[in-house]
Amino acid sequence: MTNTQFGKFESLEELLKAYQNLESAYTKKCQLAAKLKKQLQELLDQYDQIAPKVFQDQTPENINDILEDNSTAVEPSNLELDILDNVCQEQDQEREQEQALEQEQDQEREQEQEQDQALDQYDLDGEIESFFAAYPQAKRYALLIGQAITAPKPVMADFLAAFVNVLLSISPQDYLKDPEFLNKYVYTNQDIRQYFIRSYLDGLFKGDKPKTIYGKAAAISVTPPPRPKSLAEACDLAKKILTK
């Protein structure tokens, strides 16, 4: 960006816009001139049609009397007044259009200045802090949200839109591969833990081979102790327990 000056214009875009407006005004002037020229020719044609009838069969002596009679002569001043009226009306319309255009341009410049001021006061750290304060659950996706942001100076709406896009891009299978998600929401969930315990015990009651947990020492069985089916088996079991 250079420091080129454009006079009273703040940028090259404003200078180009002013040139386009000037070109449009010049075109309108040319159209108005052509229109007035046509009207003048029509009035002159009317005058040429009326004048021969007025002076027909007249002698040079009484032509002056006819010209002095306003009721029968066509006064050139009427042509001038008609032209002036048309010119004034066209000029008034042009001035109104130019004023409306200038007001519109002033409003656009004010809006651009307000936007520039807002951008100058932009605080990225503050915007990020405000977003995560409003949506703390989004912190674990901070990296993905940052990658999804496309706005040069994002605000709350931009962060929220990126957060939604990140959530929509994650499938259930992706969550099952996330250790943090599993530790926080699956392994510690009592309903899920009870489900697996019940499934394991149901398998034992159905006669499935029990699974054991092997450590560095002896193997530890998680099968329930055998129950005696008769008095003799109960006596043998008691002896084994007492002799240990």
Q: Are 73 and 67 in contact (CB under 8 A)?
A: yes
pLDDT of residue 199: 83
Residue ranges per structural domain of the chain:
12-120, 124-170, 189-243
Task: Examine the pLDDT at 40 and tell me if it is beyond 80.
Answer: yes
Cα distance between residue 123 and residue 3, in whole Å: 27
Residues 7-19: pLDDT tens digits?
Answer: 677 777 777 787 7
Q: Which of 33-42, 114-123, 156-165, 218-227 has the lowest mean pLDDT?
A: 218-227
**Residues in CB range of 226: below 8 A, 6 or more apart:** 237
User: Which amino acid, residue 99?
Assistant: Q
What pTM was estimated for this model as a whole?
0.34
Q: What is the model's pLDDT at position 127?
A: 92
Coil, strand or helix at 62: helix
pLDDT tens digits, one per residue of 169-222 = 888 888 888 888 888 888 888 888 888 888 877 777 776 665 665 555 545 555
State the chain's mean pLDDT as an integer. Answer: 75
Question: Over the stretch 95-116, which tens digit does the pLDDT of each residue have?
Answer: 788 888 888 888 888 887 776 6
